[in-house]
Structure formats: C-alpha cells, structure tokens
Amino acid sequence: MTNYQKELVQVAAVAVAALQTSLAGSTELDAAGTAVHTKILDMIGDERRRQEAKFGTRLQTDVTGSPIFWFAVLGEEVGEVAREILEGRAA
C-alpha cells in the first residue's frame, strides 16, 4: 500500500469514527440487532452505489494522473458536513 493509499484509509477511518459517534445509541440501528459497524459499512456501500449511478465508476484518473474528480467530491461532502455542524444539526 502506498503512502497515498494509507492517507485515504485514514480519511475514511475518521469519517467512520464520526458516523459511529453520531449513531451511538441509535434505536434505529440497535432495534434491528445489527452491529453499528456492520450497518455503517452497509450505509457506505449504499452511498457508493448512489455515487456510481450519478457519476459512473470513474475508476480512471484525469489526464494529469491524479484523482482530481474524487477530491472535488470529497471537498463538497466535507463542506456539507461542516455546514451541518455550524447550523447545529450535527448529531
């Protein structure tokens, strides 16, 4: 695994930790008897399928050889999370 890939894993791990924290004690998840971690992975898989339906797989990189597209999407999503926090809707 390259250092770049390790950094991406760290980004994903922080996002999962934030989601776990916000779902702690969620009756929606606990009532089904599903482990929170497993449910989060299911939620991530669902989101990836929505992204692929919207954008395509985009496994290729742009002409410069860097995955600019996905970083733009990541930046947009991080901005939306920040807005939710600032507007008091983070739970």
**b/e map 52-84, b = 16+ CB within 10 Å:** eeeeeeeeeeeeeeebeebeeeeeeeeeeeeee
What band does 64 get if pLDDT is binned at 50, 70 and 90? very low
Task: Tell me which of 73 and 55 has the higher pLDDT.
Answer: 73
**Rounded distance, CA 18 to CA 25, Å?**
14
Please tell me the predicted confidence (pLDDT) of residue 38. Answer: 84
66-83: average pLDDT = 85
Instruction: For 38-89, give the DSSP string.
Output: HHHHHHHHHHHHHHHHHH----S--TTSS-HHHHHHHHHHHHHHHHHHHTT-
The DSSP symbol for 31 reads T
Task: Tell me which of 86 and 61 has the higher pLDDT.
Answer: 86
Say what the pTM is: 0.70
Q: Are 40 and 23 in contact (CB under 8 A)?
A: yes
